[in-house]
Structure 1
Amino acid sequence: MDGMQHTHHHDGTGPSLPGTLLTVLVLLAAAAGYLLAVRRARHRNPVLGWRRLRSASFLGGLALLAVALLPPLGPAAHTDFRGHMAQHMLIGMYAPLCLVLAAPVTLLLRTLSPARARKVTAVLRSRPARLPAHPAVALALSIGTLGVLYFTPLYDTAVGHPAGHWLLHAHFLASGCLFAYVIAGPDPAPSRPGVPARLAYLGAAVAAHALVAQAMYGGFFVDVHAPVDQVRQGAEIMYYGGDIAELLLAAALVATWRPERRTSAGSRTRPRHPLEPTHAPG
């Protein structure tokens, strides 16, 4: 089978104890920071408050990251390709969906003063922010890089060094959050296209994910130094795990969709996001 090797030569034995403790501290700090922001948002505006479901979603995302990064899965991912793929699914697809549905940007804006909130909104509306927030760019970063990772020596090079493995984690998490935000995030996204376009990009992601998984299962162009059985089972994890995650993302898109309203003149207007600035008539 092209590119597959029957040996697994990674030297890493998994995160060290200091690394594990650091991971726990970072996750706890993120949870504490979010909950403190929720408390401040409720204090600043008791009428709006903050939905507990969003807080639960954020904590659930952090819990999924903990499962992925801490023992037993964390160390196993360094020596077993199946563990790596399970870790990839959790860090790159499931945890990002939970984190994005927690609306962290909206929460941030509610905790800031009006002047600072306007500055953050201006950044979100700037051209540099619009580019990565385009679905095509988000799709390329989240799905397009899988081919580069698994069909070139990049995977073995990255996981052969601790820093490389953490860079992979950071990429999976950042690109997964970006794609989930573009497709179904409740946070304001000025350049986000309509629902039909987002569904089309999500369909493209489903097809691309399946294609990569099928190529990996068949051993076509795969450049991963791991036993064949592990690579095939890892491909199955990607195929079925990716399908479930993308179905959840589609459900989130439907759940967060605010349909357009028709005005008396028959034109369509999109409901204004609560944090979007209003404009004076004329």
Structure 2
Amino acid sequence: MTPAHAGHTAGGFPPVALVPLGMFWLYLAAALRQRDAGRPGWNHRRTASFGLGAALLAAGLAWPAGDLPGHMWQHLLLGMLAPLAMVLGAPGTLALRTLDRRAGRAAVRLVRHPVARVAAHPVTGLLLTAGGLYLLYLTPLYRATLTSLALHGLVHLHFVLAGYLFAWSIAGPDPGPHRPRVPVRLLVLGVAVAAHAAIAQLLYADLLVDVPAAGDELRDAATVMYYGGDLAEILLALALLVSWRPERAAKPAPVRA
């Protein structure tokens, strides 16, 4: 067991794992406000989805990552499964319904800013998620996280935020800057699948990676990344396709004689 991971495991339930539960409490309070007279109400399935995401996030933060496969399960929860479930809860839409008009307009202006348009593009999310994996495992960064709890926490924060951004840019129901069409988003998702598969194969073969672990640990961790990542990306693709409404070409007006 590595020093940083050993400290995490020995400390029992980490207080940071309570943060997602607090987030869900705030979400639930806002959702219940939508039941007041004169308000449109809120979809229970979205509440359940966000609650599931918060639970998965808490589980990932509390996961005792004592070895490389455990570390990989933790990243799967934090960077893929929890963000997807939370995104499908549409917290942005709920927040806009809860905020007063002035704050809501300010939020909309912020989302429409050119920088936000670039940040919200699926390619940006792809670079942050897949690029983060390559940076972590193909450089000395992973070794550094083993002896630094602060760096370990920053890496986790990166995966949560990058995973949320990527899931939202692909299939998020919340409003935002103009997204590319669905075929483009599916193409980006396909590249993400290939990128995850490639890094998993490098780990499995212990090729080019800088990870201090035995061969069996590397292979087990690579298996978790490969199949767990496939599952998360299939769920993301299904979320996109379920919400897809293909554009219909306008019918030409009949020609009158």
- State TM-score, norm by structure 1: 0.84
Residue 195 of structure 2 corresponds to which residue in structure 1?
208
Residue 89 of structure 1 corresponds to which residue in structure 2?
76
2:163 aligned with 1:171, yes or no?
Answer: no
Which of 245, 250, 272 in structure 1 is aligned with 2:232?
A: 245
8 A Cα contact 2:4 2:145, kept in partner:
no
Which of 50, 59, 69 in structure 2 is aligned with 1:58?
A: 50
Paired residues for 1:9-20 under 5 Å: 9-15=2-8, 20=13
Q: Equivalent residue of 2:188, what SS?
A: helix
Given residue 68 of structure 1, which amino acid in structure 2 is its aligned partner?
G
Given residue 215 of structure 2, which amino acid in structure 1 is its aligned partner?
V
Q: Equivalent residue of 2:221, what SS?
A: helix
Which of 7, 26, 31 in structure 1 is aligned with 2:19?
A: 26
Post-superposition Cα deviations, 1:6-64, rounded to whole Å, max 9, x if no partner, equal xx654541427878352243222111100011122332743x31110000001101111
8 A Cα contact 1:38 1:50, kept in partner:
yes
Residue 214 of structure 2 corresponds to which residue in structure 1?
227
Alpha-carbon shift at residue 112 of structure 1 (Å)? 1.4
Paired residues for 1:89-168 under 5 Å: 89-168=76-155
Post-superposition Cα deviations, 1:41-100, rounded to whole Å, max 9, x if no partner, equal 332743x31110000001101111122222xxx22x1x3000000001010000000000
Change (3 A) 1:15 1:119: same
Given residue 190 of structure 1, which amino acid in structure 2 is its aligned partner?
P
Report the more deviating stretch, 90-99 or 26-35. Answer: 26-35
2:28 aligned with 1:35, yes or no?
Answer: yes
| Whole-angstrom CA distance in 1 between matches of 2:73 and 2:15 | 22
| Whole-angstrom CA distance in 1 between matches of 2:194 and 2:26 | 37
8 A Cα contact 1:12 1:161, kept in partner:
no
Bigger RCO (CA 8 Å, 6+ sep): 1
Q: Equivalent residue of 2:198, what SS?
A: helix
Query: If each structure's helix is expressed as a fraction of its own residues, which one has the higher value?
Result: 2
Query: Could you list the runs of 5+ residues in structure 2 that have no partner in the other structure?
Result: none
Given residue 50 of structure 2, which amino acid in structure 1 is its aligned partner?
F
Post-superposition Cα deviations, 1:148-187, rounded to whole Å, max 9, x if no partner, equal 1101110010232111111111011000000000000001
Change (3 A) 1:44 1:84: farther
Change (3 A) 1:171 1:45: farther
8 A Cα contact 1:185 1:256, kept in partner:
no
Change (3 A) 1:123 1:151: same
Query: Could you list the runs of 5+ residues in structure 1 that have no partner in the other structure?
Result: 1-7, 267-282
Residue 177 of structure 2 corresponds to which residue in structure 1?
190
Given residue 27 of structure 1, which amino acid in structure 2 is its aligned partner?
P
Q: Equivalent residue of 2:13, what SS?
A: helix
Given residue 80 of structure 1, which amino acid in structure 2 is its aligned partner?
D
Q: CA RMSD in A?
A: 1.9
Change (3 A) 1:119 1:229: same
